[in-house]
Amino acid sequence: MLGLLMGRFILRFNGVGEKPAEDVQRIRLLPNATILDDSGRMILIEAPDAAITELVKLLPQWGVSQESFVPLPDPRPKLRKPAPH
């Protein structure tokens, strides 16, 4: 994988009904990619950024998002720096 910029992406089918089998097959055959989860209308995939960019051009009914994380909510005031001594 040297030289490939890898990322984790969510592919979500936005069309009507189940996600088409031929689309899923095309995703599964993506070189240098690993399917991490396949659920309902979505597939979580680790793949080179460039390959995903090219893939979604061929799958107009699919949306793509990079995997991201939201923190546990906490309204408590946080310390930013130690008190000067």
Contacts with 41 (C-beta within 8 Å, 6 or more apart), sequence order: 12, 13, 14, 19
Least CB distance to another protein at residue 44 (A):
5
40 binds another protein (CB under 8 A): yes
Contacts with 56 (C-beta within 8 Å, 6 or more apart), sequence order: 11, 62, 63, 64
Judged by CB under 8 A, the stretch of 21-29, 33-41, 53-61 that binds another protein is 33-41
- Closer to another protein by Cβ: residue 36 or 58: 36
One residue of 5, 39, 57, 60 binding another protein per CB under 8 A = 39
* Residue 35 structure tokens: 């399917």
Question: Distance (Å, rounded) from C-alpha 22 to C-alpha 58?
Answer: 12
Using CB under 8 A as the criterion, which residues of the chain lie in contact with another protein when the complex forms?
Answer: 10, 12, 14, 36-37, 39-42, 44, 63-65, 67-85
